[in-house]
Structure 1
Amino acid sequence: MAQQYASQQPPGYKNHIEKVALVGASGQIGKHILSALLETGQHTVTAITRRTNTSTSTSTRTLPLPASVTVRTVDYSDPVSLSTALLGHDALIITMSTSAPLDQQTKLIDAAAAADVPWVLPNEYGYPKTHRGLAADIPIGAKSAAYRARIEELGRSAWLGITCGFWYEYSLAAGARFYGFDLNKRRVTFFDDGNTRINTSTWPQCGRAVARLLSLKVLPDDERDASPCLARYRDRFVCVSSFRVSQREMLESVMRVTGTEVRDWEIGYEASVERYKAGVEEMRKGNREGFAQLMYTRLFYQDGCGDFESSEGLLNGVLGLPVEDLDEFTRIAVEMAQEHKV
């Protein structure tokens, strides 16, 4: 990628992403990314999974993955194991739980550099990391920045970040500390007046966004080519979204889905600034649930931080992402809450 145009590359240069390594292929977002990658017909996927130890031997975890997916088991304590698994890949996508060891992503980034993987998508899904207020008020921002800085420091890969807001169906179903709803008890707490709009995305939309981003050609054909290509987003965040919606609009959707009316709901109000401070205090006292409260509430501040569609613009059109039905995914959230699947 030292040269600017595909026409200037050596003979045999491949101007597209073909081989993709995916960490967390059976996880919450990983399975949607995997499905979308396979649907494009342009990618072959390798699922990177940890080697697990039993009392008698080392074995591979059984993953519910399509037969077309290659599974590579790795040992995170062995850098050679990681870099060997990544050799020959055009991109590495990292998805992992917040409970994963803190150094695990760093090890993957280092291994991608050692294996000369040109593109890395770190575990960057959620709120806009470039907003100064959010960066200062949400503690994980500094850790995310450190991962991106590590990629740039090594200088062998480019990074791509996905700004998609929080996942809609999960966040609506997960309880009052998230989008303010207890769906089963028919309670909602509006932050401020409940009219602040934020961008939020469904799991399938995030999966499509990643797959279609990696389906773009890598470089422009020549100096006259202004069509979309991956190089234009090198070391940048890509903003995508399913809905720009307020809590009140979420409630309207929930009422349509459940056949309820306002009188059926217990509605409360809380100042977003005070709710954020309460979450911070809970974290200080050791209650990890306070983190979800402070993070989600901060996105609803009236400084527009959660509405990145208005401030940054979306890449939905460039990627050909569909317009989704809010009620369809509200219904999924209601079912998740009823079945306690969060």
Structure 2
Amino acid sequence: MKPPASPEAAVGADPAVAGLQVFVVGGAVRDRLLGLPAGDQDWVVVGASPEDMTERGFTPVGGDFPVFLHPLTKEEYALARTERKSGRGYRGFVFHAGPDVTLEEDLQRRDLTVNAIAQRPDGSLVDPWGGQRDLAQRVLRHVSEAFGEDPVRILRLARFAARFDDFRVAPETLALCRQMVAEGEADALVPERVWREVSRGLMQDHPSRLVSVLEESGALARVAPAWHPPGDMGVRLDDAARRALPLASRYALACVNATDAAALHARLKVPTECADAARLLPLLREGLQAQTPDAVLTVIERCDGLRKPERFEALLAAADVCEPVDIVAWQRWLGLARDVDAGAAARTANGPADIRRAVREARLAALSHSQ
């Protein structure tokens, strides 16, 4: 595979890194090789110490291991490091970073071969673990058995499968994931990390693959038991992706057949807007066949459409994934109900206790005139 054009060629003129062995690694290199727009660059420095970096004006920002901000660009530069398993879960590691750590050792600790390619400032590549081969063959393969020490990597694998839908997961990698689940590694995942990877996977073009890889690995029943077995969830999620629906809508669609959605919201500590969408979507779907003004207004009220019209319209789009919805009609009804002058209607009430009834009757009248 031909090395991509490198925007880092001018790095040699940068006094902050002059004389250092610096490499771009990870996703930026992978995406350039695939002809995709490269996101933020991850830099690795080989042969340097924390003292070397601070003397050059870099600002230390790392917690568990040395990461530094460039004095001008503010890009992150991490010292090459190795890691050793010291406990269960993704936090159970001891890191070593120092001048003696080689680039190959640093790349070996990474998750997938396609993410373990480094690029020199001159554009040439360092690929000791066959990442270019797996890019060409469209394979997601773990770099080494160290993959099995970090359960977050199961989630990342599923997310990458959702993003790169023409890549297959190597059988040996899937087998390692199953082994990790069987050994209890997935049980050590904390909600914040699960939600971070799951939410990003849901927003990919093929979120069904997120679910299918988690299911095939056995991890779905551990991290999101309410989604296990997934049934036709993947079909709904891919349809939602084609329609470019937002995260809250996609999460709500994932929870359509959940065995205990409320418990899942709490387990994953999902954002309020996602939990609300999952709670309200069934209420909306129950009332979609409403024919009378009273039934229509009741649906709008139950789903808080008068107060949050944008969310109500997003729920309509999500419901349309499950069954055809006359979205235009519901948008018109919502608009009519919201256009009622609540102040004027309240002035017709027989005292403060009667205001709610008076306003509702005005809205029912507006809906009646539209039918």
TM-score by length of 2: 0.25
- Answer 1 or 2: which has greater strand percent: 1
TM-score by length of 1: 0.26
The structure with more radius of gyration? 2
- Answer 1 or 2: which has greater helix percent: 2
Q: Does 1 or 2 have the higher relative contact order (CA < 8 Å, sep 6+)?
A: 1
